[in-house]
Structure 1
Amino acid sequence: MTPPDPTAPPVLDVRGLSVRFRMREGRFVRAVTDARFTLHAGERLALVGESGCGKSVLASALLGLLPENAETAGEAVLNGSIDLLAASERTLARTVRGRQVGLVPQSPAAHLTPVRTIRAQLHETLRELRRTPRSGLREAAEEAAARVSFPVDHLDRYPHELSGGLAQRAATALALIGDAPLLLADEPTTGLDRDLVEHTVDELARHTGDSRALLMITHDLAAAERIADRIAVMYAGRIVEIVEATTFFGARGPRHPYSRGLLDALPERAFEPIGGMPPELGALPDGCAFAARCARASEECRVQPPFEGAVACHHVALEAGHA
């Protein structure tokens, strides 16, 4: 990958993004708290963490797809010009979605039109985003399908006639048509066997190239290792560490205890799951949310650790101070 141009604005600059949901009884559930990261053209960032940690909520916030009871704070600036959190629905629908941000959804069945064939949906997207003439639609649709190994003889089927894996590939093909500068892939390998996982992430990497950015949300660390330049680890709504992928998966490994726990749970590693359960997002502790599951927890952990040196952990900060 060509190093990012330091003079160019990032494709995505997320500053203090927070999301909370207002519940009927008057309480709030904090799903995302103070998320901060940047993505430059050519970069691929994998956001990882256990289910329910807020990864997909963050993705929905970037596209303006949160429910009405959601409240957002902070900024998420696209290409140095559009704050995705403040943009109107008109701007998001006509300027952002598909054109500047391509989405590979977590639940493709909810994004595919049930009463139209996959071919018809590809044709519509090609006309809308590429202005493909009618005479070229058939060939262009088959090329789009081939990019993600979607079988041509299934193009005239409806979404309900597809397996989960084929529906995922159809959604991926639609997301790639616009050649958007930012691709947001929310669990893009769900339901795929390992060969197709590798093919899908390789295609996402090829699409990124040196001119586009990729934010991939995943629980599949093998997929993250194959594609990502950097890893952002999320726990209980907070990003607790951002680290180079070579460091995360290398001999040195990540520094946050939760990040290390994710790696140790892999079959090819220690195969030791993290003990305990994540806290409820509606009842988060005042201090470090991981303390109840952490062998290194101490009195300092009663206070929320700052995000210093790209990791939020009192013990890591103390070790750095004594280095």
Structure 2
Amino acid sequence: MTERPPVLSVRGLSVRFLMPGGRRVAAVTDAHFDVAAGECLALIGESGCGKSVLASALLGLLPANALTAGEARLGDLDLLAADERTLARTVRGRLVGLIPQSPAAHLTPVRTVRSHLRETVAALTGVRGRAALRTAAEAAAERAAFPVDHLDRHPHQLSGGLAQRAATALALVGDAPLLLADEPTTGLDRDLVDRTVDELRRHVDTADGTGRALLMITHDLAAAERIADRIAVMYAGRIVELADAAAFFGAPGPRHPYSRGLLRALPDRAFTPIPGMPPELGDLPDGCAFAARCDRATGTCASPPPATDGVACHHPHVPEDIRA
């Protein structure tokens, strides 16, 4: 089988925030991953581990005190090196569709959802004419399960779940080669979560076989299991494991102790929380950042762990010592 080419290729992506007094906060460190055509990569991890910062870096949406390094190639374009004009006119919406983490903040408060959709449809698809735009806007709303009878409401009149669905509808309009979904199921009940991730999956699985790519950032491991081809686990700014989704959620299971801890914390599994708290990104240890919370840690963990076979750990689990 021919290997699918990457839509997005990230190499050595790091983000540092320069704080008052010259202190630097390492929000993302040396991230390496690809997202292939026709693939969904789910990026998971606890709050504050750097997932959303990574997404913002890809779209040039970081604050002025952020320093980036590395490459993030979308075809021939390095997103980290692109200027604001290129990002605004070529990338956002057209090459990369974004479902933001806080959708209400990304909607213009004085405009209705219908107005947002009509403008986006006209800009990204070339559809013209009042009737055609109305039809296209309503079709976009239906695709994201946004109720048509709420299209003439303003953002402040929407619940969190409805704002999320409006943002999803807007992100899907342009059928961008890469869809970046940052917590796309926040505020949705289980049925709508399933419907949303199924629609995102359809976005990836194009009928012509060329495929589009989806990078989904989520805390919802059930949604990740339903949609993802591969899983990237992030901890304290680093990707500590990259794994096939079926193997991660099934057998043999994750290999990094932190990844295992995330699954064991689920109510339908052991329902056992990971002890302790993640370290501050501005005060990371020299060695393994998870060592203080890990029951497999030894003195070796005082040095940085090697990244071997998709897992960055001195003492990764191997299939024979992983139990369901």
**TM class by smaller structure:** over 0.9
**Cα shift at 1:213:** 0.4
**Cα shift at 1:306:** 1.7
Describe the SS at the equivalent of 1:45. Answer: strand
Q: Retained in 1: the 8 A contact 2:55–2:180?
A: yes
Identify the match of residue 93 of structure 2 among 98, 103, 120: 98
Percent same amino acid at aligned positions? 75
Work out whether 1:114 is the aligned partner of 2:109.
Answer: yes
Q: What amino acid sits opposite 1:130 in the alignment?
A: T
Unaligned stretches of 5+ in structure 2?
320-324
Residue in structure 2 matched with residue 190 of structure 1 by the alignment: 186
Q: Retained in 1: the 8 A contact 2:12–2:32?
A: yes
Residue in structure 2 matched with residue 206 of structure 1 by the alignment: 202
Describe the SS at the equivalent of 2:6. Answer: coil
Residues matched between the structures, number: 314
> What aligned pairs does 1:243-262 form with structure 2 within 5 A after superposition?
243-262=243-262
**Structure 1 vs Structure 2 CA RMSD:** 1.2
Distance 2:145 2:216 in 1: 20
Q: What amino acid sits opposite 1:142 in the alignment?
A: E
**Cα shift at 1:251:** 2.9
Distance 1:92 1:306 in 2: 35
What's the TM-score, normalizing by structure 1? 0.95
Describe the SS at the equivalent of 2:142. Answer: helix
Provide Cα deviations, 1:253-308, integer angstroms capped at 9, x if missing partner: 10000000000000000000000000000000000000000001101100111211
Work out whether 1:27 is the aligned partner of 2:40.
Answer: no
27-36 or 300-309: bigger deviation = 300-309
Work out whether 1:293 is the aligned partner of 2:293.
Answer: yes
**Cα shift at 1:316:** 2.4
Work out whether 1:160 is the aligned partner of 2:159.
Answer: no
Q: What amino acid sits opposite 2:199 in the alignment?
A: E
Identify the match of residue 177 of structure 1 among 173, 180, 186: 173
Describe the SS at the equivalent of 1:32. Answer: strand
Q: What amino acid sits opposite 1:96 in the alignment?
A: V
Residue in structure 2 matched with residue 134 of structure 1 by the alignment: 129
Distance 1:15 1:110 in 2: 30
Work out whether 1:150 is the aligned partner of 2:146.
Answer: yes
Identify the match of residue 69 of structure 1 among 65, 75, 94: 65
Q: What amino acid sits opposite 1:87 in the alignment?
A: A
Describe the SS at the equivalent of 2:315. Answer: helix
Distance 1:165 1:208 in 2: 23
Distance 2:120 2:129 in 1: 12
Distance 1:189 1:149 in 2: 12
Describe the SS at the equivalent of 1:316. Answer: coil
Provide Cα deviations, 1:115-149, integer angstroms capped at 9, x if missing partner: 10000010100110011112300000000000011
Provide Cα deviations, 1:74-128, integer angstroms capped at 9, x if missing partner: 000002x000000000010011000000000100011111110000010100110
Distance 1:208 1:316 in 2: 32
Q: What amino acid sits opposite 1:243 in the alignment?
A: A
**Cα shift at 1:9:** 4.0
Work out whether 1:270 is the aligned partner of 2:266.
Answer: no
Could you list the runs of 4 or more consecutive aligned residues of structure 1 that deviate by over 4 angstroms after TM superposition?
A: none
Describe the SS at the equivalent of 1:282. Answer: coil
Provide Cα deviations, 1:151-189, integer angstroms capped at 9, x if missing partner: 001000000000000000000000000000000000000
Residue in structure 2 matched with residue 44 of structure 1 by the alignment: 40
